Amino acid sequence: MRTHIAVLAAATLILTGLGATAASAAVAPVEVTAKLGGDPVTVRTSEPGQDAVVTFQGEAGRRALVELTDIRFGSMWLYLRDTTGATLRAVSCADGLECVLDTADLTVSGRYTIYLDASPLSFGLATVRVHDVPPDLRAAYTIGDPATTLTTEAPGQDAYLVFKGRAGQRVFTRVSAGTVGTMAAYLLDPRGAALGGGVCDVPCDIDVVALPEDGEYRLLLSPGGVRAGSLTVQVLDVPEDIAAIAKLGEPAAVTTTAAGQNARVFFEANAGDKVTVAVSESGFTTGRITLYAPKGETLATGDCTRNCALTGVPLTSSGTHTVLLDPSGAQTGAAVVTITVSAPDVITEVIPGGPAVTLRISEAGQNAAALFDGLAGRHMSAVFSKGTLTGATASLRAPDGTVLASAACQVSCFLDVPALPADGRYTIYVDPDGSHTGSIVVRLYDVPADAAVRAVPGGESVLLTTDVPGQNGVVEFALKPGERTFVQLGSGTYGSATAQLRDPAGAVLGTQPCASGCVFDSGAATAGGVHRIALDPQGAEVGAIKVTVYAVPADSLVRTAPGGGAVTAATGTPGQSALIAFEAVAGQRVSARLGGGTFGAAQAGLRRPDGSWLVTPVTCAAACFLDTVTADGAGTYTLVVDPSGAATGTITAEVFDVTDAAYDATAGGDPAGITTVTPGQNAVVSFRGGKGLRVSVRLTAGTFGAAGIALRGPDGATLISAGSCGTTCFADAVLLPADGVYSVLVNPSGAAAGTATLQIHLVPADASATVKIGGDPASVSIRVPGQNASVTFDGAAGQAVTLTVANAGLGAVTYQLRGPDGALLTSRSGTSAATVTLGPVTLTATGTQTLSLNPTTHALGSATVTAT
């Protein structure tokens, strides 16, 4: 909708002072010129965060709408600024989404600016179009006339239906058909204030509105975005609502006959009554039902289909009450309304800590209550079970009616109130949904203080038991600053529970789900005093759990040296880690292999001398490998093995001094045999290459199990790579960018070592041949791994051509047919069929067409191509 409408302006996002120079000040914005009402222009940026500016010449009195399409720019803000630089419109844009700056009035002639403010990492392109928006449509209309159709012709153009109205007149507006999709529809009073409406799709209704005064009213229809098209609309004169008087227990029939007309049913009732309002035999498919008190207060409301009800509504005053039936949209029809007084609530007594009571609800609208006397500060809980209620809500209410706890409660539920707020009469209340009836059993508990036990770090386990639903448990243990502990909870009998570790000040150090068991690896105490494990059984759970607090000694430490052989580290107490320390100098390359672990599960990582991670921890059950890293300073490095949970055990570790194996080769020359011996060792094969040469790389006879290869340029940048090298793999042809020494890195996976043969192929120009449509076949041969082939032929636009390829030994091949302009006409990816048919294909341009053949592996062979 258009933001020049005063009543709608508040809903429009207008940002000022943003986006002046969001990109790096070092990167100048890209500038492009557009024309108001002209063709789209494309803006393209090449640097992350670079902005773009589109300018156009505007004339006073004209209107402009800015549309962005084909957005491949990342995220950005889009601004329209006037000749002074002030922001007229602003919106956030993202790739793939419609982005429109809605209609803006150009108040002066001059240069206007569209600013594309890129986010820091965004760059790319977008197409910008500045639409010249014609004046809005205005059509005269008389209330009650037949529907009329308004048609907008351009993006940004709105339509107004203008009609006379008188004070108190009730109107209903319907947009029954249209071609614009989403739109905004608002009914505006003589001063432009909105009386009703919103954003909607066709059909779109504005429900009945009583006009506030005599005067000229307008219906604003504003297509969304850049949409334009037709809208069929009618404004109807709505008669007074249908009224009926009902007696309690007797049906009252009502019928509406006009769109927007409601029905009202009046009845007399007394304060304290609970009534059920039932609607039946309704001709409305959707609508609302509302019950009002004598002074107009809303007592209850809900959706209403063909049958509905407001059940068990307590009345707060005596007098004439009103039931309002409001059919959705333009629906009309009949309905039967019956108001009945619900049976009195079921009320009984329940004793805290006493026997359970059964609450039985036998009539629709009836509730049930169990009363008890409570004392301020007491912890109370209620357990509900054996329910036969299809739907209900249970609550515990204070003497003043405040709901202290509530829960959905059909078959069972639990209410827990840690501290009653005051002495007095409390109520456990069960409110069935709708007209449901049934029964449920409730038992009330006076919950004792938390169950508390003390434990001694390093001492015997203690048993923590909770006996009453809602009761929590606490395990206390004293620590001195720096003392390390590990807490294990096990053999729990709870269906669900949560445990927290808290320091002496009550701060939570950790939280774990802990039904049957959990652990807290609490490390060293930062403060002395009593620490606590707080156990919170969920719902009505009761049970027991065993708690052991271990006094954790210093981590076990063994020393080794890179290349010094295997050492064994052990832990004997839960929470203890195993440390393997070694000395290294800056630039030294090391790897580590761990095996024979008996922890079940653990994490292993490598720390620098300052304690920071050089290798962040990885999962390490029975074995793992930390691949080669370079020490970035001299000092003591430490392998840290941290067993999971309460596990203890042993593990064997070996640290290796790693130097890559170096070899020389010649591009196009003999293969090079390579060998790695040390876990983490790579092989580097170097060769001299020249700018513009094409090379491919093939590895064969590998015994590593798995490895990867990467071709690197003189600057160390990777030009091409291949993974999953078992016994063999292949890196396709790449064009060398400069003269210099290139290298192929062979990286065995994990701790693997072994041998392989590596050959660097010098790839000649692609094989080529020419064929004639309807003529003899043409053959091409690929003789070097990485070489491709192409077959060309002349064709005319509109000509249908079929290509048949006989593949002899090339394996899987990707075929692409392109026209003279490079446009892709058809393709087949990675097919190894002996005979491949492409087409028939209709050529789109006259000239030389090209079929390319790209083997996906190192395969050599030939292909014969026939064109028909």
pLDDT tens readout for residues 32-85: 999 999 999 999 888 888 899 999 999 999 999 999 988 887 788 999 999 999
Neighbours of 837 (CB within 10 A): 12
Residue 25 confidence (pLDDT) above 70: no
Give me the residues paired with residue 200 across strands: 183
* Mean local confidence (pLDDT), 116-144: 92
pLDDT at res. 18: 34
Q: Which residues contact 6 (CB under 8 A, 6 or more apart)?
A: 192
Q: Strand 778-782: give its sheet, edge to edge.
A: 778-782, 861-867, 800-808, 835-842
* Mean local confidence (pLDDT), 773-782: 95
pLDDT at res. 7: 33
Confidence of residue 112 (pLDDT cuts 50, 70, 90): very high
CB neighbour class for 495 (10 Å; exposed up to 12, middle 13-18, buried from 19): middle
* Mean local confidence (pLDDT), 224-235: 93
pLDDT at res. 23: 38
pLDDT at res. 95: 81
Residue 379 confidence (pLDDT) above 80: yes
Residue 388 confidence (pLDDT) above 70: yes
Residue 14 confidence (pLDDT) above 50: no
Give the pair of three-digit tokens for residue 732: 């396709």
pLDDT at res. 21: 37
For Cα atoms 348, 417, 376, give the angle at the middle one, nearest 5 degrees.
80
* Mean local confidence (pLDDT), 683-707: 95
Q: Distance between CA atoms of 436 and 369, rounded to whole angstroms?
A: 16
Which percentage of the chain shows pLDDT scores above 90?
A: 82
Q: What is the mean pLDDT of the chain?
A: 92
* Mean local confidence (pLDDT), 550-565: 96
Strands (E) across 119-262 are located at 125-132, 137-140, 148-151, 159-165, 170-178, 183-188, 194-200, 204-210, 215-223, 230-237, 242-245, 251-256
- The residue behind tokens 């024309």 is 35
Give the pair of three-digit tokens for residue 95: 């790739």
Q: Are the beta carbons of 1 and 220 closer than 8 angstroms?
A: yes
Q: What is the pLDDT of residues 269-278, one digit of tens each?
A: 999 898 999 9
Q: Distance between CA atoms of 630 and 438, rounded to whole angstroms?
A: 73
- Polymer length in residues for the chain: 868
pLDDT at res. 22: 39
pLDDT at res. 13: 30
pTM of the complete model:
0.59
pLDDT at res. 6: 33
Give me the residues paired with residue 290 across strands: 301, 324
* Mean local confidence (pLDDT), 826-844: 90
* Mean local confidence (pLDDT), 564-575: 95
Between the CA of residue 253 and those of 285, 333, 819, what are the distances in Å? 17, 11, 76
Strands 263-269 and 242-245, by their bridges, are parallel
Residue 96 confidence (pLDDT) above 90: no
* Mean local confidence (pLDDT), 552-574: 96
For Cα atoms 504, 509, 513, give the angle at the middle one, nearest 5 degrees.
120
Between the CA of residue 856 and those of 524, 696, 707, 785, 807, what are the distances in Å? 58, 12, 19, 10, 13
Residue 5 confidence (pLDDT) above 80: no
Q: What is the pLDDT of residues 462-499, one digit of tens each?
A: 999 999 999 999 999 999 999 999 999 999 999 999 99
Q: Distance between CA atoms of 288 and 509, rounded to whole angstroms?
A: 51
- The residue behind tokens 């204070």 is 398
Confidence of residue 19 (pLDDT cuts 50, 70, 90): very low
Higher pLDDT, 188 or 822: 188
For Cα atoms 297, 298, 303, give the angle at the middle one, nearest 5 degrees.
165
Nearest Cα residue to 57 out of 121, 150, 132? 132
Q: What is the pLDDT of residues 616-655, one digit of tens each?
A: 999 998 999 999 999 999 999 999 999 998 999 999 999 9
Residue 16 confidence (pLDDT) above 50: no
pLDDT at res. 3: 39
Give the pair of three-digit tokens for residue 512: 């774990």
Strands 694-700 and 754-762, by their bridges, are antiparallel
pLDDT at res. 123: 82
Residue 555 confidence (pLDDT) above 90: yes
